[in-house]
Amino acid sequence: MNLRIKDLGFFLISILTIPFIIGGCMKSEYDRLEEREMASKVRYDSIFLGLHFGMPRKDFFTSCWEMNKQGLIIQGPGNLSVEYKLDTPQVKSKVFMRFYPKFTQEDVIYTMPVEFTYEAWAPWNQQLSPDSLLVEIKDLFEKWYGGNKFIYIENKDKNIQLWAKIDGNRRIRLYTKNISTVKADITDLTAKIDTRTPKNEEVD
């Protein structure tokens, strides 16, 4: 093959550039969304019920104590979570909303795992299935938080419907946990913590 120096240079540049072009095109919708939102430097620290990222553990307990006195929340099963009863036109039946945050080494909130279950759930009641609840919570969260819509994420476990929404630093993931429960993870993607939930972790 007889290539001139100029042609050879163009050929080499093309070969070296193609992998980067292909790599950029192969980025998932989720990856592109996260890059765009993180680059925006916009912060959304609100979680719900007045709780927020960066809230010290002490303030979290004080806030929950006040809400408990007002009758808004109670202790969840086994005293392992906070329980709030979700009663809104966006859900067809009352829903137990149970949550307890995770804290950084500085003892401030960086992620909020939440579990949702219909109060009247029963194995024989197909109208109150977790798949139905997932759709309702997804729509409710889009109203609560505004911003971007949820996008579907392909998961290794085909039995799990996994949805994600990112606005600035705040990521929300939703998926069915078991036959009765939908789980949400509301996470600050800028949190400086070694155990921060990665986007590709296995859901439980």
Distance CA 13, CA 137 (A): 49
Domain limits, the chain = 28-188
Please give the model's pTM, rounded to 2 decimal places: 0.81
| Among 15-19, 21-25, 33-37, 40-44, the least confident range | 21-25
Whether the pLDDT of residue 101 is over 90: the answer is: yes
Is 99 in contact with 117 (CB distance < 8 Å)?
no
What is the Cα–Cα distance from 107 to 7, expressed in whole angstroms? 60
1 has a pLDDT exceeding 90: no
Q: How far apart are CA 99 and CA 86, in angstroms?
A: 12
Rg of the chain on CA atoms, in Å: 22
Would the pLDDT of 198 be above 50? Answer: no
Judged on CB neighbours under 10 Å (0-12, 13-18, 19+), 2 is: exposed
